Amino acid sequence: MTRRVLVLNGPNLGRLGSREPDVYGSTSYAGLVDACRTLGKELGFDVEVRETNDEGEMIRWLHEAADGAIPVVLNPGAFTHYSYGMRDAAAQRTAPLIEVHISNPYAREEFRHTSVVAAVGTGTVAGFGIGSYRLALRALADELTD
């Protein structure tokens, strides 16, 4: 049986490949989507990758995941640091939720050192570029088999 997984991306992540490549790498958003779907298939997941610049839409997606017991890989982008609404939606999770970041927030500006999501997630993977998503999907697979 293939398990549905949502990979949810917050603001500006749709601009991967052109947005600050020195920080976020040269992989395009389409490349990220392909990488997640390919590894997901290997892990027995039906991965759906989404991106939004809208906080309300992200909250609705997290509600959808909670209502359907759908595991989530979440890169909240800038919402990480201030969106208590998104944090409260993530806290309603009924399946594992792995927070992911392409860069290492702790090696960047001080305002990026705080995640309002971390305390309500299963775990966090950060600092490995697009590889952070691969690590998060593997961690999700481990969580779901334990």
Binding site feature residues:
75, 81, 88, 102-103, 112
DSSP-assigned letters across all residues of 31-90? HHHHHHHHHHHHTTEEEEEEE-S-HHHHHHHHHHHHHHT--EEEE-GGGGGT-HHHHHHH
Binding site feature residues for substrate:
75, 81, 88, 102-103, 112
Among residues 24, 29, 82, 113, the one annotated as catalytic is 24
Nearest to 40 by CA among 66, 4, 64: 4
Residue 113 designated active-site: no
Residue 24 designated active-site: yes
Q: What are the backbone angles phi and psi of residue 99, rounded to the nearest 5°?
A: -80, 135
Among residues 63, 84, 101, 133, the one annotated as catalytic is 101
- Residue 28 has what DSSP assignment? -
DSSP-assigned letters across all residues of 72-87? EEEE-GGGGGT-HHHH
CA-based torsion, 14, 51, 12, 43: positive or negative = negative
Active site residues per annotation? 24, 101
